[in-house]
Amino acid sequence: MQTEALYQLLEGIQNNTIDISHAMEQIKSLSFEDLGFAKIDHHRSLRTGYPEVIYAEGKTPDQMRQIVQKMVEKGSNILATRADSQTYEVIKQICPEAKYNVLGRTITIEKTTLIPPDSYIAIIAAGTSDMYVVEEAYETAKILGNRVEKIVDVGVAGIHRLFSYLPIIRQAKVIIVIAGMEGALASVVGGLVDKPVIAVPTSVGYGASFGGVAALLSMLNSCASGVSVVNIDNGFGAAYNASIINHL
């Protein structure tokens, strides 16, 4: 339940426009709703400001359908990450307004339009091969109510490409830097800006990149101040943290 919805419910009780028994039905599942295979945390948006996000990988399309159905009934904005096209087709049957980002593997359902702050998040990617993480981060940031500027294919192999975007980058409130291979872009950006940088290592690279471990270690060992690091390919985690910073 959203904070606004709870406020309206309590106001309705106070004004005698909502029946007590109806209110009890609404409050009954306020904490969580047990579907047997999943316990939906309807209370999360009241605690953290954001509704629960669904990690779709490992869940069957039917399980996803049931979870989304219950969340839609509560009027929540919905984000599902790591979702495949089969799951999307099932979700679209119960919620035609659902949108699928093929590259980012995200499903979004916008029930409430959030007004973004004046500030924005910049998402910077080293290469086109990193776009699957860029799109996951982009969809996450958008559904959480943020303006986003995407700057892609500006890695260190052609560092001059990055410099032409510095005015946009420096005006962002928080910056997400996504890179595979050796992950050097995060350190470069961190040394050019006075904003927090959230680095995302990707699993892009040849054998010795060890599926993103090389980029992860490089980013963790960055000598640039103000760079923090999330897990490999975790565009969602980076965008979630960036959203919190952007709304401060």
Question: How does residue 51 score in pLDDT terms, banded at 50, 70 and 90?
Answer: confident
Summarised one tens digit per residue, pLDDT across range 129-180 is 999 999 999 999 999 999 999 999 999 999 999 999 999 999 999 999 999 9
3-state secondary structure of 129: helix
- How far is C-alpha 157 from the geometric centre of its chain's CA atoms? 28
Band (pLDDT 50/70/90 cuts) for residue 77 is confident
Secondary structure (DSSP) of 162-184: HHTTHHHHHHSSEEEEEE-TT-T
What is the pTM assigned to this prediction? 0.84
Given CATH 3.40.50.1970, say whether it is the number of domain 120-246.
yes
Per-residue pLDDT band for 69 (boundaries 50, 70, 90) equals: confident
Q: How far is CA 184 from the centre of its chain?
A: 23
| Domain boundaries of the chain, sorted by first residue | 3-109, 120-246
> Comparing 191 with 111, which gets the higher pLDDT?
191
* Adjacent-strand bridge partners of 200: 178
Q: Do β-strands 147-151 and 174-179 pair in parallel, antiparallel, or remain unpaired?
A: unpaired
pLDDT of residue 120: 97
Alpha helices by DSSP H, listed for 74-153, are 85-94, 131-143
- Residue 57's nearest CA partner among 35, 86, 24 is 86
Which amino acid is present at 147?
R
Per-residue pLDDT reduced to its tens digit, 190-230: 999 999 999 999 999 999 999 999 999 999 999 999 999 99
More confident site: 221 or 31: 221
pLDDT (0 to 100) of residue 137: 98
- pLDDT bucket at 33, cuts 50 / 70 / 90: low
